[in-house]
Amino acid sequence: MSEVTRFTHGSRIPGWDQSTDPSKPAAAIPDPATTTVPEELRAAIEAEIAKYPERRSALIPALHHAQEHHGWCSPEAIEQVACVMRLTPGEVAAVVTFYDMFESKPVGKNTIYVCTNISCSLNGGDRILAAMRDAAGDDPDFNIRGFECLGACDMAPMASINGEYVGPLTDEDCNQVIAQLTAGETPLPAKQLSLRPCADAAGRTGGDGQ
Amino acid sequence: MSAILFDRIDEPGLATIDVYTRRGGYSALKKALAMPREAIIEELKVSGLRGRGGAGFSMGTKASFIPGAEIDKYLVCNADESEPGTFKDRELMQKKPHQLIEGMIISAYAVGANRSFIYIRGEYVLQAEMLERAIAEAKQAGHLGENIHGSGFSLDLVLQRGAGAYICGEETGLLDSLEGKRGNPRLKPPFPANEGLYKGPTLINNVETLATVPPIIEMGGAEYAKLGVENSAGTKLVSVSGNVQRPGNYEIELGISSREIIFGLAGGPEAGRSVKLWFPGGSSSPVLTADDLDLPYDFDSLAKAGSMLGSGAIIVVDDSVRVVDVALKLASFYRHESCGKCTPCREGTNWTVNMLERVQSGEATPMDLDIIASVQEQIIGNCLCVLGDAMAMPVGSLVAKFRPEFEAHIEAARERNGLGASQPAVEQPVLTI
């Protein structure tokens, strides 16, 4: 019997089309006596918890720390966060899968977000994404993703490379980024956002240059 | 016009407390702490400052909704700047973090909030670092913490990084995210002013709005209200991007002509190209065409023209771009970012993408355009938040204003793929009684 093709669904909840087994008990809050959490990670999460009136508020910062520590939000990382946060792994996983920056699969250590939203794509963002993918080839060290508007349309087309904004990019820059990251250098130091002057201040001198 | 938000924006070291204080920073805070709380809210009302995040609601009025009782109240700064085309808050937070912090302290004092939060989008790593450093400096200088400058008022400020979700820029989605949950918007009412963060009264404002508070206290609300035009007081940061020669952030006095911004400041499209359409307030605003370029850039004029000022992000699209590509790009973005809570948005964004893909591939007929338009109408106003509307308004306006181009595209794509012309329009018989 051939499988009935289903229309793609807009839901962001992974597993919405999979059945569950209600006879199995839901995973409980991990027992601190049997869950080992790296000391460094535990300290970082506890410092976050201390900032808020309610401890659950520290979940997203905790997951940032866990992702930094493990490279991705692995089941092990989720278990450890759940243990320190006193939440069930299910509650933590629900948050992980909602946010684009949390990786729920293992990824390369260099994360490159290429903006492909409207302003960047008007300036060739989609082409840059393809060029970046071509440049990296199948090197497993690179995690290259087309991303939604990163809030830097003034330097379109742009990308966020391990958190550093660079732009405007050319096809040639993509090869250079991959080469520089492979060699452990800072990618495109001259094209970083921190060096960009404000367009207003650069275009008009003084405060009243209407 | 003298710059209020971008005053000395590129001065080296302005992000540090030393230079900021030397340039008159934190003097508005001292002035405000000597004023009664009601007087600050009154100044904000008189100033006519309208929220700069997108909705354009009067900040003073919003602050006055916060109950005066001695209960836990919160101030939240919405720094989740994710509206496509918007990047003004990024520049402010990176170069003038102390102006935002000063504005937050004054606002928190005005409404009696003792805990405040900045929710910044996770992608803004550099800006989060700048803010963390500035918050530490402000604490060191006694502007934050217990009993600020002997006023008896205490305030704690925590910076939280998001993790990449457009919906967390919606105020109630942001509150859920700040509480450590999925960023699903809440049913309103109750509004955050009554029941917000941790179910306490919460004042939530955009970065630019809060950063405008110190200058208002400094110059007085009445003086600020003289800037701009009626119902759109003051200056506004506009982010111009897309097909323009000098994209970037510009501070303008509200009410100047849109042509002046797009051509005068941002340089317009490159030589030989003309403006085909533009988004006046981020990708969620209904599009305007070249005929609307002389509209004054203020809240009322843009609303009268059927669009909105939104976040102040102008995206210019020139005549080399196909409208269908723009519509599909938009719809795909909103489909990806829909949280999935409300059916009209979750399914509507999805089916709009599917239909636009049919238009692209040539499977569509002009009837698909009617269906696209009807889907947009059924989304608007039928969801908990405005994410669905944010797709329906621009896509609906694109189909309405550029229908002949959509139809020509459909016919060309059908021809290319050997599907033949779509059904020719049949003349309707005239009924005579």
Span B175-220, pLDDT tens digits: 999 999 999 999 999 999 999 999 999 999 999 999 999 999 999 9
Q: What is the pLDDT of residues B317-374, one digit of tens each?
A: 999 999 999 999 999 999 999 998 999 999 999 999 999 999 998 899 999 999 999 9
| Residue B115: closest CA among B76, B57, B168 | B76
Q: Give the range of the structural domain holding residue A71, as residue numbers without chain letter.
A: 39-96
For residues A150 and A73, membership in a common domain is answered with no
Closest Cβ opposite residue B165 in set A8, A11, A100: A100
Is pLDDT at A206 greater than 50 in this prediction?
no
Cβ(B7)–Cβ(B24) under 8 Å? Answer: no
Among A11, A115, A121, A154, pick the best mutation site for testing chain B contact (most B Cβ within 10 A).
Answer: A154
Give the mean pLDDT of B138-152. Answer: 96
**Do A89 and A81 contact (CB within 8 A), yes or no?**
no
Residue A142 located in a structural domain: yes
pLDDT at A24: 81
A151: nearest CB among B6, B90, B349: B90
Average of per-residue pLDDT across A146-156: 95
Please list, residue by residue across B166-182, b when 16 or more beta carbons sit within 10 angstroms of its beta carbon and e when fewer do.
bbbbbbbbbbbbbbbbb
> Which CATH number do you get for residue A149?
3.40.30.10
Top residue of B117, B181, B197 to mutate, by most chain A CBs within 10 Å, is B181
B122, A101: Cβ pair inside 8 Å?
Answer: yes
Which residues in chain A are contacts of B91 at CB distance < 8 A? 198
Specify whether the CB–CB gap between B208 and B88 falls below 8 A. yes
Is residue B350 domain-shared with residue B304, that is, in the same domain? no
Q: Is A111 on the interface with B (CB under 8 A)?
A: no
Count the domains in chain B: 3
Is B279 within a domain?
yes
CA gap B105, B153 in Å, rounded: 10
Cβ-defined contact of A151 to B86 (cutoff 8 Å): yes
Q: Is the pLDDT of residue B116 over 60?
A: yes
Question: Residue B166's closest chain A neighbor by CA?
Answer: A148
Please say if the pLDDT value at position B250 is more than 60. yes
State if pTM tops 0.90: yes
As beta bridge partners, residue B242 has B316
pLDDT band at A163 (very low <50, low <70, confident <90, very high): very high
Written as one string, the DSSP assignment of B375-404 is: HHHHHTT-SSSSHHHHHHHHHHHHHHHSHH
Q: Compute the distance between CA of residue A193 and CA of residue A164 in angstroms, rounded to an integer.
A: 8
In a domain, B172, yes or no: yes
- Domain assignment of residue B432, yes or no: no
Do residue B162 and residue A60 have CB atoms under 8 angstroms apart? Answer: yes
Predicted pLDDT at B274: 96
Which of B14, B182, B254, B358 should we substitute to test contact with A (largest number of A Cβ atoms within 10 Å)?
B182
- What's the average model confidence in pLDDT over A162-168? 96
| The domain boundary residue, chosen from B301, B318, B335 | B318
Cα gap A63→A58, rounded to integer Å? 9
Judgement on whether residues A136 and A85 belong to the same structural domain of the protein: no
A chain contacts of residue B94, beta-carbon cutoff 8 Å = 193-194
Domain of B400: which CATH number? 1.20.1440.230
State percent of chain A over pLDDT 70. 88
Strands B202-206 and B74-79: parallel
Point out the domain boundary residue: A64, A96, A128: A96
Q: What is the ipTM of this complex?
A: 0.93
A2: contact with B, CB 8 A cutoff:
no
* A163, A199, A208: residue with CB nearest B125: A163
Q: Is residue A209 part of a domain?
A: no
Range of the domain at B347: 323-416
Contact at CB, B242 and A122, closer than 8 angstroms: yes
Long-range contacts of A13-18 (CB under 8 A, 24+ apart): A13/A97, A13/B340, A14/A97, A14/A104
